[in-house]
């Protein structure tokens, strides 16, 4: 994949959750092709260490850290304001950050996986999308999961309560369904702007998204998982490939378009969008 990527010199990418795993390898791939990359995440120490490693590996020093906690909408707003205040271009946003296997509530009052994996990225994307349109043509990429096929739909009450299942995997699958729906509706809304959207399954990856799973189970899982390098391939494909530059709102797996779950409909995507707008507006008033 890396050999097929175009030269990215002069383009700016923003990748969330990129100090480890798939996100880190996505940044490595982009930096290796000359891109400027803003790396957004919670841990300054881990992210700066990843940036140093990637700079040493690729020779590209045009990488910067942006503090961002997607579970906290105040942090999301601050991060977006910080980036926008820089005045720089934004060609591609990769919503990579994800959380799985941990139960609870987000700081902004949502089931933990749903708040971190959907509500935060939804707001972050909304705050940055005018800059992407201005820069254009651009792309917005949501890293989802094949787990979205397991979700029967979205229980609007459950996403405002703490995780109910023991492993929170069902809740994770709902959050990944939301990622697919978000990309679909956003693609529709951005038609004609030159900005296209994508959601994708990176593969079952041995990454830190599973960091909350008990150690023994996590080690057993890794025997059946792909490497983060393999996992980044479809993210890089959706973010850079000319092959998909003319399509929008679609779902991808193994660098190919794939039909998403039958639950993914225009009606549900529109309802999720409307509710998400209400949620983030209420958060601002609060």
Check: CB of residue 192 under 8 Å from CB of residue 133. no
Q: In angstroms, rounded to a whole number, what is the distance separating the alpha carbons of residues 108 and 104?
A: 12
What pLDDT sits at residue 100? Answer: 87
Residue of 172, 198, 251, 252 marked catalytic: 172
What pLDDT sits at residue 1? Answer: 44
CATH architecture of 2-285: 3-Layer(aba) Sandwich (3.40)
Closest CA relative to residue 160, chosen from 101, 113, 209, 125? 113
Place of tokens 């794939």: 258
Q: Based on the residue annotation, tell me whether 149 is a catalytic residue of this protein.
A: no
Q: In angstroms, rounded to a whole number, what is the distance separating the alpha carbons of residues 283 and 276?
A: 11
pLDDT in 10s for each residue of the chain, 286 residues: 445 678 999 999 999 999 988 899 999 999 999 999 999 999 999 999 999 999 999 999 999 999 999 999 999 999 999 999 999 999 999 999 988 889 999 999 999 999 999 999 999 999 999 999 999 999 999 999 999 999 999 999 999 999 999 989 999 999 999 999 999 999 999 999 999 999 999 866 544 444 555 555 555 544 445 565 677 899 999 999 999 999 999 999 999 999 999 999 999 999 999 999 999 998 665 4
Structural tokens at position 278: 């209400």
Q: In angstroms, rounded to a whole number, what is the distance separating the alpha carbons of residues 107 and 69?
A: 9
Q: In angstroms, rounded to a whole number, what is the distance separating the alpha carbons of residues 121 and 36?
A: 21
What pLDDT sits at residue 6? Answer: 87
What pLDDT sits at residue 63? Answer: 98
């Amino acid at each position: 994949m890396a050999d097929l990527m175009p030269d990215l010199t002069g383009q700016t990418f923003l990748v969330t959750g990129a100090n480890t795993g798939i996100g880190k390898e996505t940044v490595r791939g982009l930096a290796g092709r000359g891109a400027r990359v803003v790396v957004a995440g919670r841990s300054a120490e881990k992210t700066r260490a990843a940036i140093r490693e990637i700079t040493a590996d690729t020779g590209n020093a045009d990488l910067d850290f942006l503090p961002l906690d997607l579970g906290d909408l105040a942090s999301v707003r601050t991060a977006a304001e910080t980036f926008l205040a820089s005045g720089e271009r934004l060609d591609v946003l990769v919503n990579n950050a994800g959380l799985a296997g941990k139960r609870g509530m987000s700081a902004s009052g949502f089931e933990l996986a749903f708040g971190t994996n959907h509500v935060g990225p939804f707001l972050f994307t909304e705050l940055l999308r005018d800059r992407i349109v201005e820069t254009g043509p651009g792309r917005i990429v949501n890293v989802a999961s094949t787990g979205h096929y397991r979700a029967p739909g979205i229980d609007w009450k459950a996403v405002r309560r703490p995780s109910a299942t023991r492993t929170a995997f069902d809740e994770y699958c709902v959050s990944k369904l939301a990622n697919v729906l978000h990309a679909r509706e956003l693609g529709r809304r951005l038609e004609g702007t030159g900005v296209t959207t994508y959601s994708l399954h990176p593969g079952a990856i041995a990454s830190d998204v599973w960091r909350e799973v008990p150690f023994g189970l996590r080690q057993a899982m890794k025997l059946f998982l792909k490497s983060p390098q393999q996992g980044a391939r479809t993210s890089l494909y959706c973010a850079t490939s000319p092959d998909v530059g003319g399509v929008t709102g679609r779902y991808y797996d193994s660098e190919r378009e794939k039909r998403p779950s039958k639950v993914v409909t225009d009606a549900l995507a529109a309802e999720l969008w409307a509710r998400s707008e209400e949620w983030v507006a209420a958060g601002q008033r609060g």
